[in-house]
């Protein structure tokens, strides 16, 4: 599939000689949801600003939708939600969205589409309320509606669930999942990794301006280092022996659950067979995105 986002050896140094990015390279393919991750100060906002054409790299090359960032032909197909934004608070949501349409040069959109957008972000019924009366979460929802306004091919979202309660975050994740199903490409920066893991296809991790890891999520998490073994029963003596061999043992309605290192799998199977235990299931446990992220960052620090 074609790459909609391409960073090739991108470096950005600010006037105070602070290196925000150093030789960063990654790609995002069409139709993917890509999680762009890194601790505070890693260079995520700088990267997004370059991607949007707000900043320019000192070296390297960047393309978005086949164009140089900032090209109007790319901007027409991008929906953008920055981490920190402000709207005209004296306006209502429909008026604000019509204003953004006018600023983009698109006016041939009826109020039915605007009403549909507000419904998608759960803001129906607040059309006559000034934005100054909105809660932080409602403003965030309006920001997402603004990003969807032109039915973009690519969405660039910086912390889209910021300020939302758990129900609101679920709504946003459901919305992103529907966009993914519709073939949209989403580049999303977030600190809430368990939620991002539910929908993302690709991961890009940067730290201190350098690329740490990139790849498809299933490839990065697919080969965990733990194995879960379910057995029908385990005597107290055999349970003690299993723990001594390094297993974490717990009991449930299904039977006895054991978690061991992958390297101990064969030896544990032979031990269980020798005791007469029936192995009900055996599966490789996949690590989490949060575990992967913390491991990568801690290794660098």
Whether 166 maps to a domain, the answer reads: yes
Across residues 83-94, what is the average pLDDT?
91
Dihedral pair phi/psi, residue 37, rounded to 5°: -120, 155
Burial of 128 (0-12, 13-18, 19+ CB in 10 A): exposed
Q: Where are the alpha helices (DSSP H) in the chain?
A: 44-52, 72-75, 93-103, 111-120, 136-147, 166-181, 193-197, 217-221, 236-244, 265-275, 289-300
Q: What is the CATH number of the domain that holds 270?
A: 3.30.70.980
Same domain (yes/no): 280, 200: no
User: Cα angle vertex 69, ends 68, 72, to 5°?
Assistant: 90
Residue 177 pLDDT > 80, yes or no?
yes
Whether 174 maps to a domain, the answer reads: yes
- Looking at residue 155, what is its pLDDT? 95
Is the Cβ–Cβ distance between 35 and 188 less than 8 Å?
yes
Q: Considering all CA atoms of the chain, what is the largest pairwise distance in Å, rounded to the nearest integer? A: 76
Same domain (yes/no): 110, 202: yes
Give me the residues paired with residue 157 across strands.
81, 188
Residue 67 pLDDT > 60, yes or no?
yes
Same domain (yes/no): 202, 262: no
Same domain (yes/no): 84, 120: yes
Residue 296 pLDDT > 60, yes or no?
yes
- Looking at residue 301, what is its pLDDT? 64
- Looking at residue 260, what is its pLDDT? 83
Q: pTM (2 decimals)?
A: 0.78
Q: First-to-last CA distance in the chain?
A: 35
Instruction: Kindly report the length of the chain.
Output: 301
Q: What is the CATH number of the domain that holds 119?
A: 3.40.50.300
Across residues 284-295, what is the average pLDDT?
76
- Looking at residue 11, what is its pLDDT? 96
Residue 7 belongs to domain spanning: 3-221
Flag the least confident range among 46-50, 208-212, 220-224, 230-234. 220-224
Across residues 107-113, what is the average pLDDT?
68
Task: Give the closest residue to 189 by CA, choosing from 84, 60, 66.
Answer: 84
Across residues 274-296, what is the average pLDDT?
80
Whether 290 maps to a domain, the answer reads: no
Same domain (yes/no): 210, 230: no
Dihedral pair phi/psi, residue 220, rounded to 5°: -75, -30
Same domain (yes/no): 40, 176: yes
Rounded Cα distance, 172 and 162, in Å:
10
Same domain (yes/no): 10, 106: yes
- Looking at residue 36, what is its pLDDT? 95
User: Cα angle vertex 186, ends 156, 145, to 5°?
Assistant: 60
Quote the mean pLDDT of the chain.
87
Cα distances from 41 to residues 47, 58, 86, 102, 160, in angstroms, run 11, 19, 22, 35, 18
Rounded Cα distance, 240 and 235, in Å:
8
- How are beta strands 33-37 and 19-29 bridged, if at all? unpaired
Task: Give the closest residue to 195 by CA, choosing from 213, 170, 221.
Answer: 170
Same domain (yes/no): 20, 161: yes
DSSP string computed for 52-86: HTSS--SEEEEEETTB-TT-HHHHTTEEEE-SS--
Same domain (yes/no): 96, 188: yes
- Looking at residue 167, what is its pLDDT? 83
Q: Per residue in 141-175, pLDDT tens?
A: 999 999 998 889 999 999 888 878 888 888 888 88
Structural domain count, the chain: 2
pLDDT band at 223 (very low <50, low <70, confident <90, very high): low
Most confidently predicted of 18-27, 211-220, 243-252: 18-27
Q: Per residue in 250-264, pLDDT tens?
A: 887 778 888 888 778
pLDDT band at 270 (very low <50, low <70, confident <90, very high): confident
Whether 277 maps to a domain, the answer reads: yes
Across 47-62, b (16+ Cβ under 10 Å) vs e yields: bbbbbbbebebeebeb
């Amino acid at each position: 599939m074609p790459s909609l986002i391409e960073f090739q050896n991108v470096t950005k140094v600010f006037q105070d000689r602070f290196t925000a990015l150093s030789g960063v390279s990654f790609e995002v393919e069409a139709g993917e949801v890509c999680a762009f991750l890194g601790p505070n100060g890693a260079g995520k906002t700088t990267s997004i600003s370059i991607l949007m054409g707000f900043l320019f790299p000192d070296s390297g090359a960047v393309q978005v939708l086949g164009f140089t960032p900032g090209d109007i032909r790319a901007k027409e197909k991008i929906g953008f939600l920055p981490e920190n934004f402000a709207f005209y608070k004296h306006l209502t949501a429909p008026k604000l969205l019509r204003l953004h349409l006018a600023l983009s040069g698109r006016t041939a959109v009826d109020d039915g589409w605007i009403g549909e957008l507000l419904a998608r972000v759960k803001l129906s019924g607040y059309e006559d309320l000034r934005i100054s009366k909105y809660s932080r979460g409602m403003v965030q929802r309006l920001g997402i509606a603004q990003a969807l306004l032109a039915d973009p091919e690519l969405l660039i979202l910086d912390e889209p669930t910021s300020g939302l309660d758990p129900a609101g975050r679920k709504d946003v994740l459901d919305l992103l999942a529907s966009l993914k199903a519709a073939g949209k490409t989403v580049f999303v920066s977030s600190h809430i990794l368990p939620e991002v893991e539910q929908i993302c296809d690709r991961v890009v991790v940067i730290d201190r301006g350098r690329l740490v890891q990139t790849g498809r999520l299933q490839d990065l998490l697919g080969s965990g280092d733990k194995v879960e073994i379910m057995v029908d029963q385990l005597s107290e003596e055999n349970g003690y022996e299993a723990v001594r061999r390094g297993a974490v043992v717990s009991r449930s309605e299904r039977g006895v659950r054991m978690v061991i290192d992958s390297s101990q799998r064969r030896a544990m199977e032979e031990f269980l067979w020798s005791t007469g235990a029936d192995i009900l299931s055996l599966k490789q446990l996949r690590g989490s995105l949060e575990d992967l992220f913390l491991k990568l960052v801690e290794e660098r620090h």
